[in-house]
Every structure is written in structure tokens, then in C-alpha cells.
């Protein structure tokens, strides 16, 4: 028997500045929702071609980046370099420490790069793991589709369509839904997963209330199903539905560093400032993209990478 989850809290994600000239709508990691175990942050970013996220450190968490418009290039101090196109995702495990850059590829039409970045907490016993990366390309992601609903099954199961991709060390699911006007959707969610929904575009009616673009809905863990509909006459709704295993652990976050003690946070900043320990590659590394990237420069960087 279906048991519907109720809504714990909802909020509008307000646009703010981040990085070097970037604009983000932050729905997790703000004063209204500091974290939503195991999730530490969700940013819906809109980046000007001359803006971006120059080199910066991470410690003790994982990031999942999803590009919906434009191109974003990524590099780190371990000489990993890759480019994300529309529909692509990258999963980065910061583990014991990493420094990386994320910059838009400047297009001829000077269009913005749009996407989302989700921070996921690492279980305490994996916080000191070796950094790792995985790119998931748009054409690798299975699609569930019927007459009124289309879902990119990034991780999890919708109907008879299942993705076995491991997104993070913390078990989770990630669905990108598009639902036509007047249609409804129904999605099973694991009972022990904290679950939220973020509306990219359009309107959704859930539990007799209508929500709008940039609204985030956080659900109670009191059921196993989320059900909603798009009001008749509204345009198609575009949203993500994401859930993760609740870790129930004591995690301390200070900026981009996450640990299970204040002492480990302090040690992380100390190591980063002195370029020692896990941050020792900083002694010799020089970023190639933090000052900006266009198509010509990107092609040159990719050719050099492929020759190595």
C-alpha cells in the first residue's frame, strides 16, 4: 500500500553571488536549511562566460556537478582535466583533500553556463579516502518515458528503468523529471533516505499546495512515495528529485572543509595554507584554467592531456 510523504519544509532559493562573479540559488547550505543529512549544499548556478569558480580546496565530502546548459571545464592539482557538456555529470570525492578549478567555456554567443552542484557528506570512516573522479555522459544515462512523463534516471529506478551507476560513497538516488501540463507523477523512495525536490521550471502541486520555479521541498521520512501533478494550463514542469541515506553522524563543516572534529578542520586549513600533507601538490601546481577558458584554449588543453 502506497504511503505518501508529507512536506517538512519548503523555501524559495534566492539568488546570491558566489565564486568569481557567478550567481547561485542555494537551497541547502543556507541559514534556513544548514544541511539535510547527508546533503551539505545544493547550488543552482548561472555563470557568466567571464566568471566561474577558480581554484579552491575541498576536504571530507563529495560533489556532484550536473550541467544543463553550456560547457564547464574542470581541473585539479593531480592533473585531472575534463569538460562537461549539457546533460553530463561529474562526481568528485574530495576525501583527504583536493584543490580544483571549475570554469565555464566561453562560447561565441557569450551565453551563460547553467547547472547544479550538490555536496554530499562522506561517512566518517571514508573521510580520509583518496580523491577520485568519475564523469557520467548524457548518452550513458537511461531514460524512462511515457506519454506525459520523462525522467533521466541518473541513479536509482523509475518504473522498469534502472541505473546502476554509483554516484557517491553514500547511497543515494538522483532523478531529473519533466512532466507535462495536467499530468501527474508518482515515485517510490527508500524509507531511510532523506529526500528533497527542487523545481527548475514550471509549477507543481503536491499535497494540495502549488509550488513554483526555484522552490525546494524537503520531505519528512513518513512514507515511501512522493506524488504530485502539474496544474492544467501550466507549462511543463522540470525538476530534480534527490534522496540519500541519512548518516546520523557528527559532521562539522567550515566552508569547503568537512570533518568529524574541529581539530581536523583546523589541520586541514593549516595543511592547505602550508601546501603540506594531502595538499602538497600545491607546491608545484599551476592552474591552467582559473584565468578563463575559450574553445581554442580548451582544445589545446585537451590535446596536451591526450598526449600525456
Residues 268/259, Cβ–Cβ less than 8 Å? yes
> Residue 170: exposed, middle, or buried by beta-carbon count in 10 A (0-12, 13-18, 19+)?
buried
Q: Check whether 212 is labelled as a binding-site residue.
A: no
At residue 273, the 3 state secondary structure works out as helix
How does 10-20 read in b/e, with b if 16+ C-beta sit within 10 Å? beebeeeebbe
Q: Which three cell numbers stand for residue 248?
A: 546520523
Q: Which three cell numbers stand for residue 301?
A: 588543453
Cα separation, 216 vs 241, whole angstroms: 10
Find the DSSP H helices in the chain. 262-274, 295-307
Q: Check whether 100 is labelled as a binding-site residue.
A: yes
Q: Which residue, chain included where needed, has cell 563529495? A: 62
Q: Check whether 62 is labelled as a binding-site residue.
A: no
Residues 202/213, Cβ–Cβ less than 8 Å? yes
Alpha carbon 254 to its chain centroid, in Å, reads 18
Q: Which three cell numbers stand for residue 221?
A: 521520512
Strands 98-106 and 293-294: parallel
Annotated binding site: 56, 58, 100, 102
Annotated binding site for Fe cation: 56, 58, 100, 102
Amino acid at each position: 500500500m502506497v504511503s505518501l510523504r508529507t512536506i517538512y519544509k519548503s523555501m524559495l532559493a534566492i539568488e546570491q553571488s558566489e565564486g568569481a562573479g557567478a550567481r547561485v540559488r542555494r537551497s541547502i547550505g543556507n541559514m534556513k536549511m544548514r544541511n539535510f543529512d547527508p546533503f551539505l549544499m545544493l547550488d543552482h548556478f548561472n555563470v557568466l562566460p567571464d566568471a566561474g569558480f577558480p581554484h579552491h580546496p575541498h576536504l571530507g565530502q563529495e560533489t556532484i556537478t550536473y550541467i544543463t546548459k553550456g560547457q564547464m571545464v574542470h581541473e585539479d592539482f593531480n592533473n585531472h582535466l575534463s569538460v562537461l557538456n549539457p546533460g553530463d555529470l561529474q562526481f568528485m570525492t574530495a576525501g583527504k583533500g583536493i584543490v580544483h578549478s571549475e570554469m565555464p567555456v566561453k562560447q561565441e554567443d557569450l551565453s551563460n553556463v547553467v547547472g547544479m552542484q550538490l555536496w554530499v557528506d562522506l561517512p566518517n570512516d571514508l573521510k580520509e579516502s583518496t580523491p577520485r573522479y568519475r564523469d557520467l555522459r548524457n548518452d550513458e544515462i537511461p531514460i524512462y518515458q511515457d506519454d506525459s512523463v520523462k525522467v533521466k534516471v541518473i541513479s536509482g529506478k523509475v518504473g522498469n528503468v534502472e541505473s546502476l551507476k554509483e554516484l557517491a560513497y553514500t547511497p543515494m538516488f538522483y532523478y531529473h523529471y519533466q512532466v507535462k501540463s495536467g499530468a501527474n507523477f508518482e515515485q517510490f523512495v527508500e524509507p531511510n533516505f532523506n529526500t528533497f525536490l527542487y523545481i527548475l521550471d514550471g509549477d507543481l502541486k503536491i499535497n494540495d499546495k502549488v509550488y513554483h520555479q526555484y522552490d525546494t521541498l524537503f520531505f519528512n521520512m513518513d512514507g515511501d512515495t512522493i506524488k504530485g501533478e502539474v496544474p492544467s494550463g501550466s507549462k511543463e514542469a522540470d525538476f530534480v528529485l534527490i534522496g540519500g541515506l541519512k548518516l546520523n553522524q557528527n559532521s562539522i563543516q567550515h566552508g569547503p572543509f568537512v570533518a568529524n572534529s574541529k581539530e581536523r578542520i583546523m589541520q586541514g586549513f593549516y595543511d592547505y595554507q602550508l601546501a603540506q600533507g594531502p595538499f602538497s601538490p600545491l607546491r608545484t601546481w599551476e592552474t591552467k584554467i582559473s584565468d578563463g577558458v575559450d574553445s581554442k584554449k580548451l582544445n589545446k588543453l585537451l590535446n596536451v592531456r591526450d598526449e600525456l
